[in-house]
Amino acid sequence: MIWFVVVRLGQLLATVVLTALLAFWLCGPVSGAREITGGAFGWLGHLLVGDFGRTANGDVGAALGGALAVTLPLVLFALILATAIGGGLGWAAALRPGSLTDRLLAAVAEIGAAVANFWLGLLLVLGFAGGLHWLPAAGFVPWTDDALQAIVSLLLPALALALPAAAAIALDARAALSEARQSLPVEAAQLRGLDAETAFRRHGLRLALLELSPALALHAAALIAGAMIVEAAFSLPGLGRLILDAVSAHDAATLRAGLLVLVLLIAGTVFLVRVCAGSADPRLTVETPE
């Protein structure tokens, strides 16, 4: 397990460093800002102590902190919603494999997984903001002004981000649960006298969760990437909006830092989920020494 964590951590660090170097070299020189001396590696050294530099618009680190205060809660809300909805639909579909309910839920999930976030966001705005007037159509109320309204501001974007992911998770959960019901531990428990549902709850559910965990890592990473599009659609001042504004303003310092933080979030999420899955199921760590 230690070797598994060390190798995964090395992959994470290599990904972040490579991204940082590419961002530094491709984004070009910084104009109208305090340039950090020492080239790419000097910039990396300053990043390690929390110095992201300054631009004509102010401190880059402060801008990143404000953007992450929007992006991280948005992704967290979306991940909770996607896991709850997708897991519930997958469970319902797997209860009776091949039944009408199973086929209908699978068909709905197939369609939902293909829906684009921004298109779904427009539908949600038309329904809940334009039609029912229950939720704001766009914008964000800062946490320091009103925490409750900040949460309300994130509800529609979180739904737009979560529902396609929930459909994909439902398909993965359905497959993992169906396979776990036919696994050897469940069949052996039934031979010992347990009924099918009890045997599945005791032995199959854990197997299904372990089988599902690698897919959840990919879905979580996809949610972070998808948040960049959803933030632009809902005019949220998150990391995606910060990166787009930096591109428009030719703000290389902010663009470099924003891209690096984005990759760190995605790669870090995959790393954490894989390590947790490896600690729960040692079989996932066997391939690492190669």
Lowest mean pLDDT, pick from 2-16, 53-67, 273-287: 273-287
CA nearest to 8, candidates 268, 280, 283: 268
The yes-or-no verdict on residue 70 having pLDDT over 90 is: yes
Answer yes or no: are the C-beta atoms of 150 and 141 closer than 8 Å. Answer: yes
Question: What pLDDT was estimated at residue 260?
Answer: 86
HSE (side-chain half, CA atoms, 13 Å) at 276: 15
pTM of the model: 0.78
Answer yes or no: are the C-beta atoms of 162 and 78 closer than 8 Å. Answer: yes
Question: What pLDDT was estimated at residue 9?
Answer: 82
Measure the CA–CA gap between 20 and 22, rounded to whole angstroms.
6
Measure the CA–CA gap between 108 and 138, rounded to whole angstroms.
28
Question: What pLDDT was estimated at residue 290?
Answer: 39
Domains of the chain in start order, with CATH, are 67-267 (1.10.3720.10)
Structure tokens at 61: 């680190």
Question: What pLDDT was estimated at residue 81?
Answer: 92
Beta strands in 82-187 (DSSP E): none
Q: Give CA angle at 236 (232, 239), nearest 5°.
A: 75
Question: Widest CA span of the chain, in angstroms?
Answer: 75
Residues 6+ apart with CB under 8 A from 217: 269, 270, 273, 274, 277
* Radius of gyration of the chain, Cα coordinates, nearest whole angstrom: 22
Question: What pLDDT was estimated at residue 38?
Answer: 58
Mean pLDDT of the chain: 79
- Estimate the share of the chain in helix, then strand, then coil, as percent rounded to the nearest 5: 75, 0, 20
Measure the CA–CA gap between 46 and 50, rounded to whole angstroms.
6
Structure tokens at 276: 């947790």
Question: What pLDDT was estimated at residue 37?
Answer: 57
